[in-house]
A and B are shown apart, each in its own frame.
Chain A
Amino acid sequence: MTNTNTFHQPENSVTASALHLQDVCVSVENTKLAGPINLTVAPGEIFTIMGPSGCGKSSLLAAISGTLSTNFKVSGDIFLGSQSITALPPEDRHIGMLFQDDLLFPHLSVGENLKFGIPAAIKNRNERDALAEKALDDAGLPGYMSRDPATLSGGQRARVAVLRTLLSRPCVLLLDEPFSKLDVELRDKFRQFVFRHVKAHHLPTLLVTHDPDDASATGGEIIQMANTFT
C-alpha cells in the first residue's frame, strides 16, 4: 500500500482546498441541534469533533454532505476553498462519507461497489475495472472483485468502504465514528489505513467520535461539542 495515489490522480481532482464552516447551525422544528459552528480544516488535516451521543454530531455531518432530511433546517455557509457549496446538491459537493457501518450495497459485488464510486467521466470499462482492481490490490484484497460483500470479514468490508469513497474522488472526507464497530486490534490498523489515505490525498477531513483514542490518533485539532438539550 505504498502508491495509493494511483486511484486518485491529481490531474482529475479539484485542487486541494480547505473546508470552512461559517456559523453553521442545524435545527429541527425551531430546536437547535448543533452550532453555531465555525471551523476550518486544511487539506490533509484531520479535525476531530467530540461529544456525547445526541449532541448533533451526525446531523452536522449530514448537513455538510447535503443529505440531511428535509425536516431539518440548516443555516450558515459551507465553503470549499473560497467556493460556497451550501446550495449544491449532495452529488455535486464531492464530499465523501464513512459511517460506523460499512454500508456496502448488498446487491452489488465488491467490484461493482467500488465502480459505483468511480466518476462517470471515466467511460472506458477496462479502465474502470483496472482502477477498482488496483485499489483492491493496494488494500491487500487482490482478486476480491466478484466477491459478495456479505462474505467478507468486518475489517475487509470497512476497507472496501474506504476505497469506494476514495475512488469517487472526494474533496473532503467526513468520518462518522467509522472505527467504533471494529474490535480494538482491528480498529488501530484500520485507523492507520484511513489516516494514511487522508494524508496521501490531501483531504480536509472531519472526524466525529466519542472515543478519545480516535481523537488522539489524528494528531489534529479537537473540539468538544456539548449536548444542546438540557
Chain B
Amino acid sequence: MKTFRALPSKVFRLRYMPAITLLVFLTPVGAGLISSVLPAFGYLPALGRSDFSGEAWGQLLHHPAIPASIFTTITTGFAATIISLGLALFFVAAWYGSPSYKKTRKMLAPVLAIPHSALAIGLAFLIAPSGWIVRAITPWATGWDRPPDVAIIHDPYGLTLILGLVIKETPYFLLMILAALDQTQAEKRLTVARTLGYKPISAWIKAVQPAIYKQIRLPIFAVLAFSLSVVDVSLILGPSAPPPLSVLVLRWFNDPDLSYRFMASAGAMLQLMIVIAAISLWFVVEVGVSRIFRSRSSMGKRHFFETEIKLASKAGINFLVMLFSGSLLVLVTWSFTWRWRFPDFLPSVWSFHSWQNNLHNLAESAGTTIAVGLAGSIIAIILVVACLENEKQRGKNAGSGALWLVYLPLMIPQVSFLFGVQVISIKANIDSSWVSVIWTHLLFVLPYVFLSLSDPYRSQDNRFFNLALTLGSTPSRAFWRIRLPLLLRPLLFAFAVGFAVSVAQYLPTLFAGGGRFATVTTEAVNLSASGNRRIVAVYALLQAILPLIVFAAAMRIPNFVFRNRQALKGS
C-alpha cells in the first residue's frame, strides 16, 4: 500500500517539537528532582555526606510539627479546591446566560491577572481584626478603642487561607468551564433537557456537567496540587503554628543550619507524595461519585434544589467579588498613605512618598518583570503552537502522547526541585543569567499556556486550513494567514495567562536568578518582610497592574482587529 502523505519539510521538523518541548522541560525538572531526592536519603557531598540512610525520614516523621502540619495542608488544600469547584459549577448551572452571568464573566480576567500574594496581602488587611471592615464600624458601632483579640488571619484552621485561595481559584474554574462549554455543545444539551421538562439546574447537572467535568479534570488536579503546596499565600494568610507543610519545608531549606537540608529534602518528597496521593484519592472518589450520579440521573427527577443553589451560588460569587474589590481598593489606599492608625477609617496623612521614593526601583524591577514575562510567554507560545500544529498535521497521537508531562511542574511542589534546578544551572554555567531565569519561568508558564491554548487549537475547524491548501496556498502561508489569525483571541489570551504566571513567580526567580534579578514580585515579597504596608501595597499593585494591562490588551486587540468581522467579535 502506497501512502501519499505529501508533507513539506517544515512539518518534518515540526515532528520533533513535542520532543524538544519535553526536553526543555524534563531536563531541569527531572534533574532538579533527583538533586532533591538524593539528600532526602542522606546524599549531599557538598555537606560531606555521601552515605545513603533513612535518617532524614526519621527526623522528619518525628518532627513535632509534622502531624498537625500535614493535617492543615490536606484540609485546606481539599477545602479550597472543593469549594471553588462547587461554587463555580453551581454558579454556571444556575445562572448560565443570565445578565449576572455575563457581568461575572467580565470580572474573570482581572481576578486572574492579580497574583495570589498581592490579593492575599489586600485581603489580610481587609478582614483582620484591625482591618478595614472593622475600622469602618469602629468605634461608633462597636465601641472598641482597640481591635478585638480574635484570630482571623493565620487562624489555626486555615479558614482565611481557604478563603484567599477560593477567591482566586473560583474564577479560574469559571474560565475553564466557559472554555469547556464551547466544546461540549452545552447549549444544545441544555435545550434538549429543558424541553424534556428539567429545571435549569437539574438540566445542567444531568445533561451538561458530565461532559464539562471531563474537560476540566486537568485544571482541577492543577488547582488541587497548587492548593496543597502553595507557599506565598500560606505565609500571608495561613496558620502559623504550625504552618502548612510547604511553608515548613521552605523554612528548613532556608535554615542556616545546613544539616536541615536533609530533612527539608525528605519533607519535599513527602509533599510530593501528598500531592500524588491527593490526586489519586480525588480520582477514586470521582469514579464513585460519577457512578452514583449516573444511576440518579436516569430516575427522572426534574429539579434539584433549584432556588437554594440559585441563591447560594449568587451570594457566594457576590461575596467573593466584594472581597476581591475591597482587597484591591485597600491596597490602593495604603499605597497613598503616610499614617493610618486604628481605628481611622481613612489614612490621617496621605502621601505620594511610597510611589515616589520607589520610582527608580519600580522602573527597574518592572523592566525586568516585563522582559522576563514577555520572553517566557513568547517562547511558551511558540513551543505550544509548534506542538499543537504538529498534532494537527500528523494526527493526534503523533509523538505528543507524552505531552501531559508538561503539567508536571504544576503538580510537583516548587521547593522540591528548585534547589536541584539551581545546581544544574550553575553546572551549566548559566546561573544568575537571563537564560536561567527565563528558562525556569518557562517551566511554570508553559503548562498554563498549554492548558489555555490546547482546546481552542485542537477544536479549530481544520477545513479552513485545508481549503487554503486547495486554493494553492503553501502550508506555511495557510498557517500564518489562516490558522493563526483565526486563533488570535485564544493566542493572545494564552499569552496573557503566561505573562501573569511569569509575573507571579517568586521562588523560581530567586533560585534561578541568584537573587540578582529583581522583579516586582521578588521586591514585593522582600519588602513585605518589612511589614511596611505602604510599600508592600505599591509593589502588590504593580504586581497586579502589569498582568492587568496585558490581559486588557489581550481582550481589546482582537476586538479592534476584528471590529468589522462579526463572526469573530467577542461574546
Contacts and interface: CB of A to CB of B under 8 A. Distances in A.
A86 B6 CA distance: 9
Given A70-B398, A151-B566, A164 B471 contact: yes
Contact residues on A (Cβ < 8 Å of other chain), bracket: 35 or more
A138 interface: no
Contacts of A106: 486, 565, 567-568
B358 interface: no
Nearest to A97: B470
Interface string B368-403: 000000000000000000000000011100100000
Interface in A88-107: 88-97, 99, 101, 103, 105-107
Interface string B320-343: 000000000000000000000000
A66 B6 CA distance: 8
Contact residues on B (Cβ < 8 Å of other chain), bracket: 35 or more
Nearest to A151: B566
B470 A105 contact: no
Given A70-B398, A75-B1, A109-B564, A87 B6 contact: yes
A107 B398 contact: no
B395 A71 contact: yes
A95 B469 CA distance: 9
Contacts of B561: 107
Contacts of B473: 91, 116
Interface stretch (B69-77, B264-272, B474-482): B474-482
Nearest to A149: B567
Given A62-B466, A86-B4, A91 B472 contact: yes
Contacts of B466: 62, 65, 67, 90, 97
B190 to A, nearest CB: 24
B474 A91 contact: yes
Given A66-B469, A70-B5, A103 B475 contact: no
B468 interface: yes
Contacts of B143: none
Contacts of B562: 107
A119 interface: yes
Given A66-B4, A148-B566, A150-B567, A97 B472 contact: no
Given A74-B3, A107-B568, A148-B566, A116 B469 contact: no
Nearest to B488: A107
B2 interface: yes
Interface in A111-127: 116-117, 119-120
A116 B4 contact: no
Given A105-B486, A106-B486, A70 B1 contact: no
A164 B464 CA distance: 13
A148 B565 contact: yes
A83 interface: no
A71 B394 CA distance: 8
Nearest to B3: A73
B456 to A, nearest CB: 14
A132 B65 CA distance: 76
B284 interface: no
B4 A70 contact: no
B360 interface: no
B463 interface: yes
A107 B463 contact: no
Interface string B274-302: 00000000000000000000000000000
A3 interface: no
B45 interface: no
A103 B485 contact: no
Contacts of A75: 1-3
Interface string B1-16: 1111111100000000
B492 to A, nearest CB: 13
B564 A148 contact: yes
Contacts of B8: 89
Nearest to A113: B471
Contacts of A109: 564
Contacts of A87: 4, 6
A95 B475 CA distance: 15
B467 interface: yes
Interface in B530-571: 561-562, 564-568
Interface string A164-200: 1100111000000000000000000000000000000
A73 B395 CA distance: 12
A177 to B, nearest CB: 13
A88 B6 contact: yes
Contacts of A69: 395, 462
A69 B471 CA distance: 18
A73 B472 contact: no
Given A116-B481, A148-B565, A95 B470 contact: yes
B395 A70 contact: yes
Contact of A103 (B393, B464, B469, B478): B464
B6 A103 contact: no
Interface in B117-142: none
Contact of B4 (A74, A99, A105, A119): A74
Interface of B: 1-8, 393-395, 398, 461-464, 466-475, 478, 481-482, 485-486, 488, 561-562, 564-568
> 4 closest Cβ contacts across the A-B interface?
A150-B566, A67-B466, A106-B567, A90-B469
17 contacts: A67-B466, A75-B1, A75-B2, A87-B4, A87-B6, A88-B6, A89-B6, A90-B470, A91-B472, A96-B470, A103-B464, A105-B468, A105-B486, A107-B568, A117-B471, A120-B472, A164-B471
